[in-house]
């Protein structure tokens, strides 16, 4: 039987180009309260007692990677990511061959989410292991509009039962690999792990997490992350 309360490995996709952020340096290496954003995310994950090690998916020959081998006494391994986020996650999961059994759970967390909270990670693991798979998410709070091609609002969509998917997401390694591979074979572009699992017939549990767990996508998000982390001291 796979152990359920042992610490878990976390795959961190960090092979993006930061197209929407713009600028020369990929956003994951820009300074955030004095340290590269990626390091802020990795430190937070490695410091968590429920996380055993980190597998980071980087771009091929990433010139900015500082070559870390461990953080807070936990192993930090790297692999080469792929063209899309899902390819990078799949590469990370494969690279855990021999370290994480197929039946064991793994976490996947975006490098671009440096503000994730430790208590949310712990709750995701507790509830997600019991449910067989889960993701952090927040209920939608804004009024949602459906637009036409010219940008006019056609209708207001119901907000009930609509959630925004965050990370970490937690699944059994073997089931997630199979789901991502079958989505790829079917030509379905999955934007998160839960979508791949849904396509494979699973129903991941939505675990409500803090809205401060933002994904840094634009320079405005970086300013917000700066504020949120600065406030933590």
Q: Which residues of this chain interact with Mg ion, rule CB under 5 A?
A: 16
Nearer to ligand CTP, 15 or 135 (CB): 15
Rounded least distance, CB 102 to Mg ion, Å? 28
Q: Do residues 16 and 26 make contact, with C-beta atoms less than 8 angstroms apart? A: yes
Residues ≥6 apart with Cβ < 8 Å to 52: 6, 7, 8, 9, 74
- Alpha-carbon gap, residue 85 to 99, rounded angstroms: 22
105 binds, among ligand CTP, Mg ion, none (CB under 5 to 8 A by kind): none
Rounded least distance, CB 20 to ligand CTP, Å? 3
- Alpha-carbon gap, residue 93 to 88, rounded angstroms: 9
116 binds, among ligand CTP, Mg ion, none (CB under 5 to 8 A by kind): none
Nearer to Mg ion, 111 or 124 (CB): 111
57 binds, among ligand CTP, Mg ion, none (CB under 5 to 8 A by kind): ligand CTP
Rounded least distance, CB 18 to Mg ion, Å? 8
Q: How far from 59 is each of 16, 84, 88, 216, CA to CA, in Å?
A: 7, 11, 9, 18
- For the record, the structure tokens of 228 come out as 């949120």
Nearer to ligand CTP, 30 or 199 (CB): 30
Find the helix or strand (DSSP H, E) in which 144 lies.
strand 144-147
Residue 85 CA to its chain's centroid (Å): 10
Nearer to Mg ion, 16 or 168 (CB): 16
Rounded least distance, CB 152 to ligand CTP, Å? 26
Q: Do residues 26 and 64 make contact, with C-beta atoms less than 8 angstroms apart? A: yes
Binding residues for ligand CTP, rule: CB under 6 A, are: 13-21, 28, 57, 81-85, 88, 110-112, 215, 217
Rounded least distance, CB 82 to Mg ion, Å? 12
Nearer to ligand CTP, 95 or 129 (CB): 95
């Amino acid at each position: 039987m796979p152990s359920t309360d042992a610490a878990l490995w976390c795959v961190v996709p960090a092979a993006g180009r930061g197209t929407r952020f713009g600028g020369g340096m990929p956003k994951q290496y820009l300074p955030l309260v004095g340290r590269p954003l990626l390091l802020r995310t990795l430190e937070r994950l490695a410091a968590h007692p429920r996380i055993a090690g980190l597998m980071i998916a980087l771009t091929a020959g990433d010139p900015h990677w500082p070559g870390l081998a461990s953080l807070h006494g936990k192993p930090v391994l790297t692999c080469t990511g792929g063209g899309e986020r899902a390819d990078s996650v799949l590469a990370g999961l494969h690279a855990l061959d021999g370290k994480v059994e197929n039946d064991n759970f793994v976490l996947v967390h975006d490098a671009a989410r440096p503000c994730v909270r430790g208590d949310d990670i712990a709750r995701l693991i507790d509830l997600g292991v019991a449910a067989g798979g889960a993701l952090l998410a927040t209920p939608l709070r804004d009024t949602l509009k459906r637009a036409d091609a010219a940008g006019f609002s056609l209708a207001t969509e119901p907000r009930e039962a609509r959630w925004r998917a965050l990370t970490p997401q937690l699944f059994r390694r073997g089931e997630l690999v199979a789901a991502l591979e079958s989505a790829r074979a079917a030509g379905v572009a999955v934007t998160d792990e839960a979508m791949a699992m849904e396509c494979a017939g699973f129903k991941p549990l939505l675990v409500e997490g803090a809205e401060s767990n933002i994904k840094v996508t634009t320079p405005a998000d970086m300013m917000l992350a700066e504020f949120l982390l600065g406030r933590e001291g």
